[in-house]
C-alpha cells in the first residue's frame, strides 16, 4: 500500500518538475512513510512514489520501478493478492524476477500480457506505467474501486494522484468548486459519477483503464458488475460455494510480510473475518474495535465484541471517541478525506486506525461490502417483497413461505410508515433553490437507468449500492486508514465473491425475515450464534444525533452560524438555523441534513 502521484507535460512545456513533483508527493507522505522515489525524463514525465512496505520489505520493492529492459517505469498503490500464482505462471514462460514483491509481478505481467494484465489480477490496485519507447501512459484501477486514482487531463497535461490534494498541488490546477458534485453529496451523501468537488479533477472509474499518448486518450472498461441470477440453483448449493469462496478470499488476504490484524464490531461481517483469519495465524492475532459503552443497544456492541474475542482468543484493543475529541479533530478529518462522503462513520474509523497504528499493526482486514452484495440494509426488505411479486408475475417459482412474508417485508422496510406516522414532515429545505433536489433526483434516476433495463428492484438497488454508495464507504476506509499508514483490506470484495453474489436470487438473500440470509447461514457453526441471530443493524455506530443535541450542540451552532462562507451560494442558512433549533430541542431529528451541511461548511472553510 502506498501513495502515487505525478504528471506528464505532454507538449514538453518547461517547468520546474522536481519542485512541483516533490510538493505533490509531500501531500501524501502519510500513505508511505517507509521509502520514497522519484523519476523524471526529458519527455516531460515526472513520477513519485511513497512506500508503505507490506510485501517484500527489501529495496527490491522500491518504486518508481523499472522493467528489466528499461522500457517501462511504474508507480503502483495496492496489493495483488494472487501475485504468487501469477509469478509461477510467468516463470514458466521464462521470466525471471529480481525480488519477491507483488509490484514486480504486476510490472512483468504488464510486459507479458499487455493491457489485459488487469484481468489476471485479484486485488486492490491503482497504477500508472510510463512507456519510454512509445511515450505513452497506461493507468488502471481495480474492479471495485478499492484503491483511488484521481486525475486531471487536457491536451497538454496529465496529472494524477492517490488523493485529490496531490493533484491540486500542481500549479496548473485551479481550485474551483464543482457545484454538481457538492449537490450530489448534499442529496445522497455520495457521487453518481466520477466527478470530485474540484472542477476538472476526476476519478478513474473502477474496472477501467486509461491510455494516454500525444494523440489523445482512451478510457476502457475491462470489468463491470453484471447481474445473472441463477434460479435453478438451491439455497444449499449457494451456501456450499459461498463457504469455500469466503474461506479462499480471507485466506488470500492474509498474505503479508508485516503484522496483520482485523477490525471487530458486533456484526456478522467482521466476526466472520476474525473467526476464519484467527485460525490462519499461529501467533497472536490482534483485533480492534470502537464501542460506546452506556449509550444503549443502538451504539454499544461490547456484548457481541466480547463474545467473538473470547471465542477466538484474540488480543483485543478498543477505543471510544468522545464528543470533545470529535469536534477537535473533525476539521482535520474533512481535510484527510479531501471531500466529504457518506456519514459520521469516519469518526470511529479515525480513532480505531490511530489505535491500530499505536499497536504497530500495519495491515487489517474489515467486512466492507457484504451489506451491499447480500441485502443487509433495511430497505432490502421492501425490495425483496417487490421482487417476489414480480417473480410470481413472470412465472418464476418462489418458495410459498416467502410469499407469506410479503406484508412483513413491506412493514420492516418502512413502507407502512407514511400510513401510521403522526409526525408532520418538515417542509424546510436546506437549498436556496428547491429545484436542486429535483435535478439531483433526476440524475439519480438516470444513473439507475444506466445500469440497464430488465432488472428487478432488488438487483437494481444492489447495483446502485455497489457502483455509487460503496465507493463512498471505501473512500472513507482508504483515507482514515492511510492517514495512519495502515493498509485496510476488504476480503468480501474479492471480485469472485462479488460475481457469485450477483447470481443469487433475492429470496435467498432476504429469507424468512432475515437480511443477508444466505451469507448469514453459510457462517453457521463458524461465527457464534449470538452474532448470527442478532438482528440489530449498527455498522460503525456513532451517537452524533445525541451529541449534536447535547455535548456538541455548541460546536454545531458555532460552525453553522451565518457568515460570508461560499456555502451561502448553495445552502439556505436561515433554514439551517431553524432546523438546528428544532433538532437541539428534540422536536425533529435533522441529524442527517445537519451533518451534511456541517461537513460541507468545514470543507469550504478548509479550502477557500
Q: Which residues of 256-291 are buried (b: 16+ CB within 10 A; e: fewer)?
A: ebebbbbbbbbbbbbbbbbbbbbeeeeeebbbbbbb
Contact 31, 482 (CB under 8 A): yes
Helices (H), 169-290: 179-188, 235-252, 268-277
Q: What is the 3-state secondary structure (H, E, C) of 299-338?
A: CCCHHHHHHHHHHCCCEEEEECCCHHHHHHHHHHHHHHHC
Contact 28, 5 (CB under 8 A): yes
Over the stretch 392-423, which tens digit does the pLDDT of each residue have? Answer: 999 999 999 999 999 999 999 987 665 555 44
Cα angle value 342/347/352 (rounded, 5°) = 120
pLDDT number for residue 424: 46
Phi, psi of 33 (to 5 degrees): -85, -5
Cis omega (within 30 of 0) on the bond before 45? no
CA distance 490 to 492: 6
Phi, psi of 6 (to 5 degrees): 165, -175
CA distance 364 to 298: 25
* pLDDT grade for 540, boundaries at 50, 70 and 90: low
Over the stretch 226-277, which tens digit does the pLDDT of each residue have? Answer: 999 999 999 999 999 999 999 999 999 999 999 999 999 889 999 999 999 9
Sequence-distant (≥ 6) Cβ neighbours of residue 551 within 8 angstroms: 323, 324
Contact 501, 518 (CB under 8 A): no
Which residue has 443493524 as its cell numbers? Answer: 537
What is the CATH code for 235-368+466-533? 3.40.50.620
Question: Percent helix, strand, coil in the chain (nearest 5)?
Answer: 45, 15, 40
Over the stretch 459-507, which tens digit does the pLDDT of each residue have? Answer: 999 999 999 999 999 999 999 999 999 999 999 999 999 999 999 999 9
CA distance 33 to 291: 29
Contact 376, 509 (CB under 8 A): no
Question: What mean pLDDT is predicted for residues 124-133?
Answer: 98
Taken in order 292, 296, 301, 302, the sign of the CA dihedral is positive
Asked: is 2-221 a CATH 3.60.20.10 domain? The reply is yes
Active centre residues (catalytic): 2
Q: Identify the weakest region by mean pLDDT among 54-68, 287-301, 494-508.
A: 287-301
Question: Which is nearest to 391 in space by CA: 403, 380, 404?
Answer: 403
Question: Percent of the chain, pLDDT > 70?
Answer: 96
Contact 184, 46 (CB under 8 A): no
Q: Domains of the chain: which residue ranges? A: 2-221, 235-368+466-533, 378-463, 544-606
Neighbours of 324 (CB within 10 A): 12
Tell me the residue ranges of DSSP E strands in 145-187. 150-153, 157-161
CA distance 169 to 481: 22
Over the stretch 299-311, which tens digit does the pLDDT of each residue have? Answer: 778 899 999 999 9
Question: What mean pLDDT is predicted for residues 313-337?
Answer: 94
Over the stretch 198-228, which tens digit does the pLDDT of each residue have? Answer: 999 999 999 999 999 999 999 999 999 999 9
With a cut of 70, say whether residue 539 has pLDDT above it: no
pLDDT number for residue 153: 98
pLDDT number for residue 423: 46
CA distance 253 to 246: 11
Amino acid at each position: 500500500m502506498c501513495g502515487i502521484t505525478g504528471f506528464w507535460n505532454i507538449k514538453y512545456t518547461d517547468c520546474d518538475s522536481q519542485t512541483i513533483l516533490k510538493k505533490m508527493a509531500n501531500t501524501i507522505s502519510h500513505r508511505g512513510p517507509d521509502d520514497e522515489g522519484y523519476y523524471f525524463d526529458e519527455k516531460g514525465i515526472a513520477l513519485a512514489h511513497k512506500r508503505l512496505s507490506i510485501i517484500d520489505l527489501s529495496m527490491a520493492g522500491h518504486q518508481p520501478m523499472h522493467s528489466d529492459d528499461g522500457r517501462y517505469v511504474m508507480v503502483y498503490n495496492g496489493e495483488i493478492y494472487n501475485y504468487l500464482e501469477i509469478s509461477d505462471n510467468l516463470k514458466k514462460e521464462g521470466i525471471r524476477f529480481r525480488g519477491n514483491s507483488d509490484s514486480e509481478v504486476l510490472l512483468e505481467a504488464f510486459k507479458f500480457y499487455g493491457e489485459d494484465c488487469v484481468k489476471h489480477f485479484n486485488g486492490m490496485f491503482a497504477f500508472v506505467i510510463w512507456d519510454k519507447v512509445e511515450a505513452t501512459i497506461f493507468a488502471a484501477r481495480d474492479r471495485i474501486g478499492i484503491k483511488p486514482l484521481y486525475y486531471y487531463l487536457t491536451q497538454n497535461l496529465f496529472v494524477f494522484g492517490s488523493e485529490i490534494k496531490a493533484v491540486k498541488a500542481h500549479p496548473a490546477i485551479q481550485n474551483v468548486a464543482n457545484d454538481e458534485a457538492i449537490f450530489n453529496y448534499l442529496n445522497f451523501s455520495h457521487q453518481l459519477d466520477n466527478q470530485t468537488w474540484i472542477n476538472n479533477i476526476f476519478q478513474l472509474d473502477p474496472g477501467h483503464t486509461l491510455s494516454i499518448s500525444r494523440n489523445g486518450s482512451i478510457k476502457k472498461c475491462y470489468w463491470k458488475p453484471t447481474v445473472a441470477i441463477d434460479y435453478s440453483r438451491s439455497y444449499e448449493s449457494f451456501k456450499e460455494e459461498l463457504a469455500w469462496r469466503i474461506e479462499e478470499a480471507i485466506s488470500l488476504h492474509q498474505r503479508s510480510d508485516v503484522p496483520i490484524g482485523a477490525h471487530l464490531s458486533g456484526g456478522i461481517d467482521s466476526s466472520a473475518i476474525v473467526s476464519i483469519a484467527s485460525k490462519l495465524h499461529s501467533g497472536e492475532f490482534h483485533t480492534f474495535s470502537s464501542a460506546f459503552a452506556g449509550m444503549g443497544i443502538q451504539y454499544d456492541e461490547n456484548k457481541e465484541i466480547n463474545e467473538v474475542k473470547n471465542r477466538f482468543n484474540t488480543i483485543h484493543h478498543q477505543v471510544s471517541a468522545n464528543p470533545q475529541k470529535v469536534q477537535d479533530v473533525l476539521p482535520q478529518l474533512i481535510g484527510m478525506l479531501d471531500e466529504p462522503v457518506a456519514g459520521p462513520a469516519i469518526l470511529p474509523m479515525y480513532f480505531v486506525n490511530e489505535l491500530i497504528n499505536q499497536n504497530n499493526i500495519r495491515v487489517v482486514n474489515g467486512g466492507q461490502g457484504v451489506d451491499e452484495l447480500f441485502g443487509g440494509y433495511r430497505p432490502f426488505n421492501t425490495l425483496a417483497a417487490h421482487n417476489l411479486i414480480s417473480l410470481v408475475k413472470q412465472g418464476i417459482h418462489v418458495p410459498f413461505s416467502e410469499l407469506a412474508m410479503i406484508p412483513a417485508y413491506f412493514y420492516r422496510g418502512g413502507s407502512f410508515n407514511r400510513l401510521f406516522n403522526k409526525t408532520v414532515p418538515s417542509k424546510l429545505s436546506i437549498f436556496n433553490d428547491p429545484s436542486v433536489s429535483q435535478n439531483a433526483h433526476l440524475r439519480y434516476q438516470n444513473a439507475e437507468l444506466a445500469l440497464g433495463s430488465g432488472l428487478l428492484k432488488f438487483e437494481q438497488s444492489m447495483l446502485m449500492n455497489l457502483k455509487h454508495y460503496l465507493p463512498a464507504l471505501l473512500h472513507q476506509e482508504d483515507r482514515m486508514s492511510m492517514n495512519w499508514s495502515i493498509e485496510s483490506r476488504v476480503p468480501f470484495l474479492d471480485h469472485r465473491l462479488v460475481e457469485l453474489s450477483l447470481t443469487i436470487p433475492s429470496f435467498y438473500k432476504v429469507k424468512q425475515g432475515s437480511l443477508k440470509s444466505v451469507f448469514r447461514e453459510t457462517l453457521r457453526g463458524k461465527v457464534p450464534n449470538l452474532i448470527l441471530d442478532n438482528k440489530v443493524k449498527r455498522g460503525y455506530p456513532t451517537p452524533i444525533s445525541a451529541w449534536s443535541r447535547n455535548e456538541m450542540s455548541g460546536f454545531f451552532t458555532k460552525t453553522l452560524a451565518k457568515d460570508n462562507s461560499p456555502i451561502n451560494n448553495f445552502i439556505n442558512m436561515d433554514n439551517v438555523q431553524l432546523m438546528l433549533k428544532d433538532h437541539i430541542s428534540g422536536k425533529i431529528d435533522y441529524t442527517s441534513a445537519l451533518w451534511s451541511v456541517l461537513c460541507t461548511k468545514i470543507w469550504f472553510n478548509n479550502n477557500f
